[in-house]
């Protein structure tokens, strides 16, 4: 099945200078995919014309006159920029012209716009941001990473269902194990929200492994780690900061003098292989889950390789029909509410 991505070419710190070459590379490798390039026609036309012969009908341009700034308040982006590139991309998913939208723009604005345009799936109160972190055993899916600062136990249960569906689809695991992030493994640990969430998760049909702690994310104890957006965001950013500090210190130690620089030359292949394994660019592309359609958020500072990884992640989520799978799981879990049961239209 051909997959079409609607790509916000204007978002991120670098805009078209990164998004366009990443899209072209992606189309060269994923030959059953097409891309609709969304953004200012004046900025994009000549670049699209230059590759028109190579990609034919697999590439097209959709004009959007506005761009949401990286530091723009969410309310302003939602109310005043109805023709922004990220909103037009979301609209293309809603109208069924694209299977997924990808943007490196302002996270808060992308979430608000996606939610407004696509709406949430039946039974989902709040969409969540889910990203992948490397672990000793492979990868851990963690959500929420900042969309929801205050969560009820029911929200955390819904995050478990959404994260489990995504991990199942992208990692091809039948029943991903789900852990609840807490400050101890024992049931008595944590605040009231977490204790009640553990009860809900245990009563659900998820493969719930109980409480996990911060270090379990990187140990790979479970496939999916559920937490509120405040804890998730702080943990993600602290991990990024620590990895940067360690990387910087390693570089500094090897650059200290002539002898250490020689040692670096000898150690280079090993260090490169080490760096490749934890290259954060490979994990780029967070999923906005719980919407009636697929939206993937790239890191704002993504380079060409990182942005292409986000495009690939979006294409795979579309192939695996992740929103349909979440909807089915919600219905099976009985979370499906009568009020919202009247219409399920996903991405069209």
User: What residues make contact with a second copy under the rule CB under 8 A?
Assistant: 134-136, 146, 149-150, 181, 183, 190-192, 194, 213-219, 227, 229-231, 233-246, 248-250, 253-254, 256, 259-260, 262-264, 266-267, 269-271, 273-274, 277-278
User: 248 or 334: whose CB is closer to a second copy?
Assistant: 248
DSSP string, 87-105: HHHHHHHHTTS-SEEEE-S
Token pair for residue 273? 């292989």
> Under a CB-based contact definition with an 8 Å cutoff, are residues 207 and 163 in contact?
no
Q: Which of 238, 332 has the CB closer to a second copy? A: 238
- What's the rounded Cα separation, in Å, for the pair 309 and 281? 7
Q: What is the DSSP string of 106-122?
A: -HHHHHHHHHHHH-BPT
- For the bound state, the minimum distance from the C-beta of residue 140 to a second copy, rounded and expressed in Å, comes to 10
Token representation of residue 118: 């696509």
Nearer to a second copy, 216 or 316 (CB): 216
Q: What's the rounded Cα separation, in Å, for the pair 255 and 124?
A: 51
Strand 294-297 vs strand 286-289: parallel, antiparallel, or unpaired?
antiparallel
Which CB sits closer to a second copy, 122 or 190?
190
**Cβ neighbours of 325 (radius 10 Å):** 18
Sheet holding 59-63, edge to edge: 59-63, 33-39, 3-8, 100-103, 294-297, 286-289, 128-135, 138-143, 224-226, 177-181, 207-212
Cα separation, 82 vs 285, in Å, equals 24
Q: Which is nearer to a second copy, 50 or 238 (CB)?
A: 238
Least separation in angstroms between residue 173's CB and a second copy is: 21
For a second copy, give the closer residue by CB, 55 or 230.
230
Distance CA 229, CA 145 (A): 5
Nearer to a second copy, 120 or 135 (CB): 135
Residue nearer to a second copy on the CB measure, 55 or 254: 254
Work out how close the CB of 236 gets to a second copy at its nearest, in angstroms, rounded to a whole number.
Answer: 7
Give the CA radius of gyration of the chain: 21
Q: How far is the CB of 221 from a second copy (least distance, A)?
A: 10
User: Could you tell me the smallest distance in angstroms from the CB atom of residue 306 to a second copy?
Assistant: 17
H or E stretch covering 254: helix 229-254
CA-based nearest residue to 120, from 161, 83, 150, 80: 161
Least separation in angstroms between residue 262's CB and a second copy is 8
Residue 280 CB, shortest distance to a second copy, in Å, is 12
- Minimum distance between the CB of residue 241 and a second copy, rounded to whole angstroms? 3
DSSP letters of 308-323? HHHHHHHHHHHHTTHH
């Amino acid at each position: 099945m051909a997959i079409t991505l609607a790509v916000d070419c204007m978002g991120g710190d670098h805009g078209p200078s990164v998004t366009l070459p990443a899209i072209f590379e992606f189309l060269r490798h994923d030959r059953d995919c097409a891309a609709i390039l969304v953004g200012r026609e004046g900025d994009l036309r000549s670049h699209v014309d230059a590759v028109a012969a190579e990609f034919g009908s697999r590439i097209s341009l959709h004009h959007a006159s506005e761009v949401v700034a990286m530091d723009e308040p969410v309310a302003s982006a939602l109310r005043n920029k109805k023709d922004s590139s990220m909103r037009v991309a979301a609209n293309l998913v809603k109208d069924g012209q694209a299977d997924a939208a990808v943007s490196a723009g302002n996270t808060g604005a992308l979430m608000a716009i996606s939610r407004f345009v696509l709406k949430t799936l039946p039974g989902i109160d709040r969409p969540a941001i889910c990203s992948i972190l490397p672990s000793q055993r492979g990868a851990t899916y963690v959500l929420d990473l900042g969309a929801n600062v205050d969560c009820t136990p029911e929200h955390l249960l819904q995050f478990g269902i959404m994260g489990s569906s995504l991990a199942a689809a992208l990692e091809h695991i039948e029943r991903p194990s789900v852990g609840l992030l807490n400050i101890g493994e024992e049931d008595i640990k944590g605040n009231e929200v977490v204790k009640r969430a553990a009860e809900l998760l245990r009563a659900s049909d998820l493969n719930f492994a109980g409480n996990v702690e911060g270090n379990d994310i990187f140990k790979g104890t479970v496939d999916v780690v559920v937490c509120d957006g405040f804890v998730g965001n702080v943990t993600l950013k602290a991990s990024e900061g620590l990895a940067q500090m360690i990387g910087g210190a390693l570089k500094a130690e090897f650059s200290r003098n002539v002898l250490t620089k020689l040692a670096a030359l000898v150690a280079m292949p090993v260090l490169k292989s080490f760096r490749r394994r934890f290259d954060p660019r490979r994990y780029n592309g967070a999923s906005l889950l719980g919407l009636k359609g697929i939206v993937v958020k790239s890191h704002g500072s993504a380079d060409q390789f990182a942005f292409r990884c986000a495009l690939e992640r979006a294409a795979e989520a579309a192939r695996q029909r992740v929103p349909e799978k979440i909807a089915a799981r919600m219905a099976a879990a009985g979370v499906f509410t009568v009020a919202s049961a009247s219409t399920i239209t996903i991405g069209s």
